[in-house]
Amino acid sequence: MYSALSDYHVHTPLCHHATGWPVEFARRAVELGLGELGFADHNPMAEYFDDWRMSREELPRYLEEVEKARAEFSQLSIRIGLECDFLAGREAWIEELAGLAEWDFLIGSVHYMPEGWEVDHPKYVGRHAGHAEEIWTTYWRVYEQCIRSGLFDFVAHPDLPKKFGFRPEGDLRRFYEPVIAALAETKTPFEINTAGWRKDCREQYPALEFLQLAHAAEVPLLINSDAHAVEELGAGFADAVALAKAAGYTQTGRFRRREISFVPLP
């Protein structure tokens, strides 16, 4: 089954909150029989920004560590990218980063709210109780901006604010539909991110209803684990494939040099 799948959302110790170097992940990918492996550490910023991403000075080592894995596991297609935080007003930095290496993909994600706090950081969990409507309204507006920026090859964990189990009341399609329209209009894929099953929400990102709406809008998808440790690589992929098929999907995307291709789901 795994040979038809890739895992492109994989982090390394350079982001300061993950374990396992690319060589170790590549060894595990071969054991699992994954078709492709892709690394996507959090993008460096032009200056010190926070403590959970590589520094600009560490970028050469990131490239070197991925090359080591390619050399040792030449039988495995290993891709390299970045998970890039969308921050309104800082788009020029992402454009500069795009030219610093031969990336296979750049993932767009939203972690920071406009006020400057991280929507998925445990230290801010108290902000979610009683404020889900306000937080979701703001988050999804920024997420749509991220998609429409045109900077990214696909986008990560769409409904991240549910991480701690807080959701607004009522029909959540009011949040999903504008974003799915943006994905469809820009032809931007999104991921099923299995890390949600390992969080308090106990649900993949995004919810099944999002998947169904996205399929109806012909938005492509990928399946990724958001692995921060070797044992998380490919986690939940069988369930994710079943979920994608339940939503109507029959194929998943792959990237090389920022160009997408498709393979059938197993």
CATH number of the domain enclosing 230: 3.20.20.140
Residue 44's pLDDT is what? 98
**Do 111 and 158 form a contact (C-beta atoms < 8 A)?**
no
- Label the pairing between strands 251-256 and 259-264: antiparallel
Question: CA-CA distance, 9 to 118, in Å (whole number)?
Answer: 19
Token pair of 117, please? 């706090």
Q: What are 85-140's pLDDT values in tens digits? A: 999 999 999 999 999 999 999 999 999 999 999 999 999 999 999 999 999 999 99
User: How many domains, the chain?
Assistant: 1
- DSSP lists the bridge partners of residue 6 as 36
pLDDT of residue 4: 87
Distance, CA of 164 to CA of 192 (rounded, Å): 18
Amino acid identity at 115: E
Please check the confidence at residue 1 and state whether its pLDDT lies above 80. no
pLDDT of 8 = 98
Average pLDDT rounded to a whole number, residues 229-243 = 98
Crossing angle of helices 132-148/173-186, nearest 10°? Answer: 0
3-state SS assignment for residue 16: coil
Q: pLDDT by residue (tens digit) across 165-209?
A: 999 999 999 999 999 999 999 999 999 999 999 999 999 999 999
Interatomic CA distance for residues 98 and 102, integer angstroms: 8
Judged against a pLDDT cut of 90, whether residue 3 lies above it is answered with no
6 lies in which domain range?
A: 2-264
DSSP label at residue 125: G
Q: For 25-69, what is each residue's pLDDT tens digit?
A: 999 999 999 999 999 999 999 999 999 999 999 999 999 999 999
If pLDDT is split at 50, 70 and 90, which confidence band does 2 have? confident
